[in-house]
Amino acid sequence: MTTVPCLLWDVDGTLVDTTELISASLDHVYQKYYGRTLPDAERRALIGTPLSKQVRVFGPLEDFGIAEADILGDFIDYYEAHRASERILHDVIAILIEGRRRGLPTGLVTSKNREELANTLPRLGIADYVDFAVTADDIPNPKPAPDGILLALDHFAIPAGLRPNAFYIGDTVHDMYAANAAVVRGIGVTWGAALAESLAATNPYAICTTPDSLRSLLFRTS
């Protein structure tokens, strides 16, 4: 029987459906600050990378005379004004809680910055079941780099021999690339921003199309 040392989770698109809200928020700041935007599919493809990168998609902010604090703050203000559009994925939240109740160290590795996570986390109702959280502000290289996952593994003091058995669950190709680079088992879920075929192209450990299939996979060996 394989030992699962910990469960690590993405947030947006994995635990809460925010894809349309993030896309709309990006559209808002792109039009306001740049006078143009990107097609929805291209905005969705940016999900899973940090907001600080998403707002620079047209080039360095300095080239446009844009202050980072202004555009990031405007994105967050728009998002929070429309936060009723968030759809908490209760079936997935239940799996995270079950894993923690089974005694598995549980962490979040998200591309949200600290302010974004502080806004969203209380709405998910999982604070008592999350042992550690890594945001884009906590590491030099956010996803798709492995830094966030590696920091969580270090925090939990997972031995080198067990690290390949750790799970990282996410909905974007950036999540799966990070999992591959960290040499953990990346599970792509199809209810978020990326299509199944895009996730499959990253060679994940598995792809789950339903919360039930995710639960069966996570707990069959733990």
Is 1 a residue whose pLDDT tops 70? no
> pTM for this structure?
0.94
In a domain, 2, yes or no: no
Alpha helices of the chain — where are they, by DSSP H?
19-34, 40-46, 51-54, 68-81, 90-101, 114-124, 147-155, 173-182, 196-200, 211-219
pLDDT in tens, 52-69: 999 999 999 999 999 999
Residue 81 has a pLDDT of 98
Under a CB-based contact definition with an 8 Å cutoff, are residues 108 and 139 in contact?
no
Residues 137 and 210 in one domain: yes
Q: What share of the chain is helix, strand, coil (3-state, %, to 5)?
A: 50, 15, 35
Q: What is the pLDDT of residue 221?
A: 54
Token code pair at residue 49: 């990378």
Residue 196 falls within a domain, yes or no?
Answer: yes
The number of distinct structural domains making up the chain is 2
Last residue of a domain, one of 85, 115, 134: 85
- Indicate the length of the chain as a whole number: 222
Question: Do β-strands 167-170 and 7-9 pair in parallel, antiparallel, or remain unpaired?
Answer: parallel
**Domain membership of residue 95 as a residue range:** 7-17+87-219
116-171 per-position pLDDT tens digit: 999 999 999 999 999 999 999 999 999 999 999 999 999 999 999 999 999 999 99
CATH number, position 44: 1.10.150
Residues 50 and 11 grouped into a single domain: no
- Give the model confidence (pLDDT) of 63-97 as tens digits: 999 999 999 999 999 999 999 999 999 999 999 99
Pick from 171, 172, 166, 169: nearest CA to 187: 169
What is the model's pLDDT at position 220?
82
With beta carbons less than 8 A apart as the criterion, state whether 211 and 17 touch. Answer: no
H helix runs in 57-125, sequence order? 68-81, 90-101, 114-124
Place of tokens 């978020």: 192
Q: Domain with 202 in it: what CATH number? A: 3.40.50.1000
How would residue 6 be classed by pLDDT, with cut points 50, 70 and 90?
Answer: very high
Give the Cα separation of 50 and 42 in Å (integer).
15
Q: Please identify, among 85, 107, 134, the residue that sits at the C-terminal boundary of a domain.
A: 85
